[in-house]
Structure 1
Amino acid sequence: MDELSLSTLFITLGVLVLISAFFSGSETGMMSVNRYKLRHLSQTGHKAAKRVSYLLDRPDRLIGLILIGNNLVNIAASAVATVIGMRLYGDYGILIATIVLTLIILIFSEVTPKTIAALRPERVAFPSSFILKPMLKIFYPLVAAVNFITNNLMRVLGIDPNGTGKDSLSAEELRTVVHEAGSLIPSRHQEMLLSILDLEKVTVDDIMIPRNEINAIDINADWSVIARQLNNMQSTLVLLYRGEIDDAIGFLHARDVLQLVTRNPDEPDKPSLVRAVREIYFIPESTPLSVQLIKFQQNKERIGLVVDEYGDIQGLVTLEDILEEIVGDFTTTMTGQASETLRRDPDGSVVIEGSANLRELNKELKLNFPTDGPKTLNGLLTEIIGDIPDNPMCIKIDEHAVEILEVSDSVIKSVRLLPKLRKKAKRSSA
């Protein structure tokens, strides 16, 4: 280097600093790029994204290549800076060159390029791939040798070099991604996506219509009673049973009833009514909604009876009930919806029927009542009190005062939910 002029050495040093900045920024950019966005761009044919994906398939080789290049450049820059320092300041120039070069590399080759790459990873990673991919092929023997040594060293330390984590997300991580999407995903779509993720946490007994509210007809009743119930059918399907609802026969469709009445307008016989029923589809009460939705599709069913471990009928679930958990209520007249079981008063309190579903109440009134036990408000209050109250009383749930208004037939019929209790602010002494 003695033949080189100072100007040539300064230019060489500047070029080496820039190359060092390239390697530092490339490393951060490559490692910070969004893998899911990169995968999407690769599938659409984006050439730069394909090159980056190729390099990231073996991150050990990519890191080895970048570090080899970066260290070679930094060592060369240190040598050039030492020569410049000695020419300008003699023996003291070594110390001066070390301090100055450290600051230059720290500012211009490390912090600045890595910060830019972390903020704009795609803008750094995509152009860098033009250079890094051919470099990997040129320096492959050296990179492979370095990787061989480091991988075996990691095995000695008990670390599997091939045990890199896959780009997969758990349900909770995916929930965070949906929340962080912001304006990229409309709020309504975000709610639907989050509802889909919640399906596996909710079972059919959380959304079922209770057995006492199932639209059902006892075939053993007088025909006049049956005819009146058929005329007042509020849905297209009605459950037919003998004596007790646990002895269910099947579902009767309104269209089949109409055909029977048309053929025999005077009095359709009960056997014809029984023959017209459709086979019952039974559902275990602990089935998650995500599983039941698939089962409905596989079995070509739209409605089923929920049974417990003893085979007793607990309620009824339809395909529409599950879909409403995803997209919201289709109508305002579905049985079991919270809006039908509550009344808002001008004073801010809410009168609620005891049969109201807790999950629906939580969604409707933004409450946080526990749902891991009883499914109705009556069941929750009975569990908390430990008995069925004889007279009206008031208890506190989730910082809400709940006043029991009516109790009859050993069931809490209605309650009043008062506005959330506010903690009194402490008065500061003067």
Structure 2
Amino acid sequence: MDSVPLWVPVLALVLLILLSAFFAMAETALMASNKYRLRHLAERGNRGAITTLKLLERTDRFLSLVLIANILLNAMAAALVTVVAIELFGNEEGVITAAAAIVAFLLIVFAEVAPKVIGATYPEPISIATSLPLQTLMRMARPLIWFVNLFVFGLLRLFRIRTGADARQTRLSPEELRSIVLEGGNFIPQKHRSILLNLFDLDTVTVDDIMIPRTQIEALDLSDPLETILEELTTCYHNKLPVCEGEINRIVGILHVRKAVGLLREAEDLTKDHLRELLVAPYFIPQDTGALDQLQQFQEQRERLGIIVDEYGEVQGLVTLDDIIEEMIGNFTTSVPGTARGDSVGWNAKGECLLEGSTPLRDINKKLGLDLPLDGPRTVNGLLLEHLQEIPEAPIALRIGNCVIEVVQVQNQAIRIVKLLRPVASRRLLSF
């Protein structure tokens, strides 16, 4: 050591610390990399991303290489500092202790903490940049890695710890995918994020949640006078209408309004039989059918309108293809009187919201940010009647959860108008 200049061991120490930092940074970057982003880059032909994915397929070999290299480099750095300290200051216990403390500090700061923080901050760029050198080193050190892993896997089998592709395989649940979409706010436009979230929710939505209730169905009754039927046709807002005979539960077909209007212009003596000839068979949907399943059924059956019936065959409502699509992407059709769902829901300056009793609870929760229960009744009217166990005499107010609901108008055995008050922590009312 007397003939070796001091700068040589110093330079060797710096080189060893840099190499150790390289492996520490590469290890953290690869383990923190987003595999979906790497797959996207790999599909676009990025060679670094392809190599990185190959390394991640065998994390056992990669980790063995990194840990072997780090341990050897750190041991060499500690030995080098100790030898230089002894040559300069003598073989004393205090000198060796001080040398060990110095090399430990240098390795912790420059070879562990700092490079790992950098690797965790920029995982994909660093993992792509370091993948090719790491792959080359893995090929060169394959015999050593095999020898080390021989004992490692033997120890893991002793403790019955599974390894391999099956143990590493991960599948994202819908809830995890939903969290990814929510956390990607800076990268996904608000409208796109809303559509994706609605798609996740569609699996839990049934046709009952989005249907037009039977009381709001606009239908032609063939038992009415012909003049009444013709007047309804000429003032109709819809393209298709259910046609019943006597009552809504006796639906005999679906009438295409445009064809009926065309027949009005051509036929001089129009009769009800002419209208019957235009009817197509109604398409019935069982109650509680999933909205996503019904969307597929509409596609397979080439239908756009379905009548929802319960287990007794009683008509409960009507749902269209547009209703399901709007549940995913939001309202896009022309507003029709009496059919808009939740369009005008919103708090006013006083923190109040006036709603019809038939407003769906799902729309209220979505528009007002509330958490009203959805496992029972589907409308405000049904929710209030369930809690009150009677038809109330307005005005009356109660709190469900953290929301105060006031009954404003009751008509025809149903709650017609309600007022919601914005939740305030200081309100003290009887809760249900």
Same fold by TM (over 0.5)? yes
1:194 is aligned with what amino acid? L
Q: Deviations over 1:1-34 (max 9, x none)?
A: 7875543333222211211111111111111111
Q: 1:296 to 1:361 in 2, by over 3 A?
A: same
In the alignment, structure 1 segments of 5+ residues that lack a partner are 426-430
The one-letter amino acid paired with 1:327 is I
3-state SS in 2 of match to 1:201: coil
RMSD: 2.5
Name 1:75's counterpart in structure 2: 75
The structure-2 alpha-carbon separation of the partners of 1:378 and 1:111, relative to structure 1 and needing over 3 Å to count, comes to: same
- 2:58 corresponds in structure 1 to 58
User: Is the contact between residue 35 and residue 167 of structure 1 (CA under 8 Å) also seen in structure 2?
Assistant: no
3-state SS of 1:164 partner:
helix
Matched to 1:69, the amino acid is A
For residues 159-199 of structure 1, the C-alpha deviation after alignment (integer angstroms, 9 at most, x for no partner) is 11124343532222222222222332222222122112211
| CA distance, structure 1, for counterparts of residue 182 and residue 343 of structure 2 | 31
Once the two structures are superposed, what CA deviation does each residue of 1:127-156 show, in whole Å capped at 9, x if it has no partner?
211211111111112212322322232222
Matches within 5 A, 1:294-333: 294-330=296-332, 331-333=334-336
Candidates 111, 114, 130, aligned match of 2:113: 111
Task: Call closer, same or farther: CA 1:180–1:88 in 2, change over 3 Å.
Answer: same
Give the structure 2 partner of residue 428 of structure 1.
none
User: Is 2:90 aligned against 1:90?
Assistant: yes
Q: Give distance in 1, aligned partners of 2:345 and 2:133.
A: 67
8 Å contact from structure 1 (residues 354, 377) kept in 2 = yes
The amino acid across from 2:135 in the alignment is K
2-side partners of 1:144 and 1:344: how far apart? 67
Aligned mate of 1:402, from 373, 398, 405: 405
Q: 3-state DSSP class of the match of 1:238?
A: strand
Equivalent AA in structure 2 for residue 306 of structure 1: I
1:372 aligned residue: 375
> Matches of residues 208-287 of structure 1 in structure 2 within 5 Å?
208-268=211-271, 270-287=272-289
Report SS of the residue matched to 2:109.
helix
| Partner amino acid, structure 2, of 1:261 | L
What is residue 44 of structure 1 aligned with on the other side? 44
Which has the higher mean CA deviation after the structures are superposed, 2-11 or 183-192? 2-11
Shift in Å, 1:238: 0.5
Contact preservation (8 Å) 1:296, 1:302: yes
Moved more, 385-394 or 370-379: 385-394
Once the two structures are aligned, what percentage of the paired residues are identical? 38
Range with greater deviation from structure 2 (306-315 or 60-69):
306-315
Scaled by the length of structure 1, the TM-score of the pair is 0.90
Q: 1:115 to 1:348 in 2, by over 3 A?
A: closer
Deviation at 1:338, TM superposition (A): 4.1
How has the CA–CA distance of structure 1 residues 314 and 61 changed in structure 2, closer, same or farther, with 3 Å as cutoff?
same
* Separation (CA, whole Å) in 1 of partners of 2:248 and 2:186: 50
Secondary structure of the residue aligned to 2:248 is strand
1:374 positional shift: 0.8
- Return the offset for 1:49: 1.0
Report the alpha carbon displacement of residue 347 of structure 1 after superposing the two structures with TM: 5.9
1:288 lines up with 2:290 in the alignment: yes
**What CA distance in whole angstroms lies between the structure 2 residues aligned with 1:342 and 1:133?**
59
Q: The residue matched to 1:271 in structure 2 has which SS?
A: helix
Q: Report if the CA contact (8 A) 2:347-2:422 is conserved.
A: no
Q: Provide, for residues 250-274 of structure 1, a one-character-per-residue CA deviation record: whole Å limited to 9, x for no partner.
A: 2100122124323423222x33322
Q: What CA deviation, in whole Å up to 9, does each residue of 1:378-402 have, x standing for no partner?
A: 1111001011124532222344443
Equivalent residue in structure 1 for 2:145, among 135, 143, 146: 143
CA distance in 2, matches of 1:393, 1:424: 16
The C-alpha deviation readout for 1:221-272, integer Å capped at 9, x for no partner, is 332332222222220111012223222222100122124323423222x333
Task: Decide whether the 8 Å contact of 2:361 with 2:379 is kept in 1.
Answer: yes
Cα shift readout 1:94-141 (whole Å, capped 9, x = no counterpart)? 323222111111111111111111111123212211211111111112
- Alpha-carbon deviation of 1:56? 1.0
- Tell whether the 8 Å contact from 1:280 to 1:305 is kept in structure 2 after alignment: yes
- Aligned-residue offset at 1:368: 3.0
1:183 matches 2:186: yes
Matches within 5 A, 1:356-395: 356-390=359-393, 392-395=395-398
Give the superposition deviation at 1:421: 4.4
